[in-house]
Amino acid sequence: MNFVSTGQGSAVLLIHGLFGNLDNLKNLGQTLETHHQVIRVDVPNHGLSEHWQQMDYPSLAHAMAGLLDELDIERAHIVGHSMGGKIAMATALVFPERIITVVAADIAPVAYEPRHDIVFAALESLPLEGHTDRRFALNHLINQGIDEATAQFLLKNLQRIDTGFRWKLNLSGLKDGYPNIIGWYNQSPNPSQTYAGPSLFIRGGDSNYVTSEHRTAIMSQFPAAQAKTLEGCGHWLHAQKPAIFNRIVSEFIDKHTE
């Protein structure tokens, strides 16, 4: 698994969301690396990491624990946004002895309804051969119903080659794994796994990813959970309110650093 490690101190593992890469939480990493070893990862099927044709959260949890083993890290804080938050939660549930704290940004440990069908259709329909102009790619995604900010984010996965473009991410693997990505394996009200350590759920005030309906599922799996709401931002809270987001995460981690 591709990763970047910076700083020294107690380890913090940062995990991006769907269609992202290890740069997504770089701003948070720069805040944390003054006192911590920060490891930013490309999740499998993203960035420069290996391609999996099937992906699920227990398998991704094992991959994260394997990375800690590779780096000779016994225990770490783990922070994730969206899909990355689910990976962080799964890692804490499967390997609670390896995790000091969990921070999940705008995601709950529940199954969600599909909400990326337009994105997959737009990405799959983009002609890659014979085109080397990113403006063409941007206009194509916008014409397929993707807003410009999201389109710019998605196009960070596009790599120019001699014959046109190629996707760095594994688009077919993500589509095949999508039911597991939006799903959840540790179903409440009787979850098979729980994490009793410190956990923090941060939601965007304008986002519908974490609502009061999710409280039971969160507390049944993470009984020590705390919650924060960042008003005036949506699902991309770490990008919309970076200063306050970084402060909340760093203060929580510092409070529980061994």
pLDDT at 107: 98
Instruction: Give the number of other Cβ atoms within 10 Å of residue 252's Cβ.
Output: 21
Question: Tokens 């005030």 identify what position?
Answer: 205
CATH 3.40.50.1820 location in the chain: 3-112+183-255
- At residue 160, the pLDDT reads 87
Give me the catalytic one of 16, 77, 140, 235.
Answer: 235
For residue 82, indicate whether it is catalytic: yes
Is residue 202 within 8 Å of residue 105, measured between CB atoms? yes
163: left (phi over 0), alpha (psi -120 to 50) or beta: alpha
Number of other CB atoms surrounding residue 70 within 10 Å: 10
Q: Is 27 helix (H, G, I), strand (E, B) or coil?
A: helix
Backbone angles phi, psi at 236, to 5 degrees: -90, 50
Q: Is 192 helix (H, G, I), strand (E, B) or coil?
A: coil
pLDDT in tens, the chain (258 residues): 999 999 999 999 999 999 999 999 999 999 999 999 999 999 999 999 999 988 999 999 999 999 999 999 999 999 999 999 999 999 999 999 999 999 999 999 999 999 999 999 999 999 998 877 889 999 999 999 999 999 999 999 999 888 889 999 999 999 999 999 999 999 877 899 999 999 999 999 999 999 999 999 999 999 999 999 999 999 999 999 999 999 999 999 999 986
155 burial type by CB count under 10 A (0-12 exposed, 13-18 middle, 19+ buried): middle
Residue with tokens 């959260």: 57
pLDDT value at residue 57: 97
For residues 134 and 143, what is the distance between their CA atoms, to the nearest angstrom?
14
Q: Quick one: tokens of 7?
A: 């700083």
Q: Would you identify the CATH topology of the domain 3-112+183-255?
A: Rossmann fold (3.40.50)
Looking at residue 258, its pLDDT comes to 65
Residue 59: both structure tokens together: 């398998």
Find out whether 7 and 31 touch, Cβ atoms under 8 Å: no
Residues 6+ apart with CB under 8 A from 11: 36, 37, 38, 39, 68, 71, 73, 75, 76, 77
Kindly calculate the radius of gyration of the chain based on its CA atoms and give it in whole angstroms.
Answer: 18
From 82, 140, 207, 238, the catalytic residue = 82
Bridge partners of residue 225, in order along the sequence: 199
Tell me whether residue 235 is one of the annotated catalytic residues.
yes
Query: Cα(187)–Cα(189) distance, rounded to whole angstroms?
Result: 7
